Structure 1
């Protein structure tokens, strides 16, 4: 028998993820060594937009954070990028949004 597929979520981890997204205009759940994470951050830097990067690889709750993000967004991979509380994708998605001008429009809303 393998491990149970039922995952118990730590409410503190879920709250941390939710509160971080709610309290920051732009949040990037990231790993410092990830080239796609760097790609995502670069798009915001080119727009001179502030963002909150949560570098998860050295956190004890890294796997749990990725589990919560997986439930929220459909994937555990990083980066997981949120603007104005909405998930907008990963590194390639953010780059495409930047290139099309949509990222700047998102940042100018609200």
Structure 2
């Protein structure tokens, strides 16, 4: 990956839902568990991607998190994007789900 910023932008623009995650993060796991219930209704599985950034070689994880901070103002994961817009992290995504607004975002 030559340009981290371009790779991230490509991922975000290429999917309706793009989640930047770490495989060992509890908040990431909780967030990822929310989305399968929307498959086939508000969300087509092919429009959903999770990138486990901690599995990238050569300290790429730190570079990705630094660039996510540049894009969103936050370095923590999960970073959840819907329709190209960052909706926040795990707590924000869970709140949107609980109040019924996540489904609405997925149908826009």
Answer yes or no: is 1:52 the counterpart of 2:49: yes
Larger fraction in helix: 2
Scaled by the length of structure 2, the TM-score of the pair is: 0.87
Query: Residue 26 of structure 2 corresponds to which residue in structure 1?
Result: 35
Query: Residue 93 of structure 1 corresponds to which residue in structure 2?
Result: 92
Q: Residues 1-110 of structure 1 correspond to what in structure 2 (within 5 A)?
A: 12-48=3-39, 49=43, 50=45, 51-59=48-56, 60=58, 61-109=60-108
Query: Residue 4 of structure 1 corresponds to which residue in structure 2?
Result: none
Structure 2: stretches of 5+ with no match in the other structure: none
Structure 1: stretches of 5+ with no match in the other structure: 1-9
Q: Which runs of 4+ in 1 moved over 6 A?
A: none
Whichever of the two has the greater Rg, that structure is 1
The Cα RMSD (Å) is 1.4
Scaled by the length of structure 1, the TM-score of the pair is: 0.85
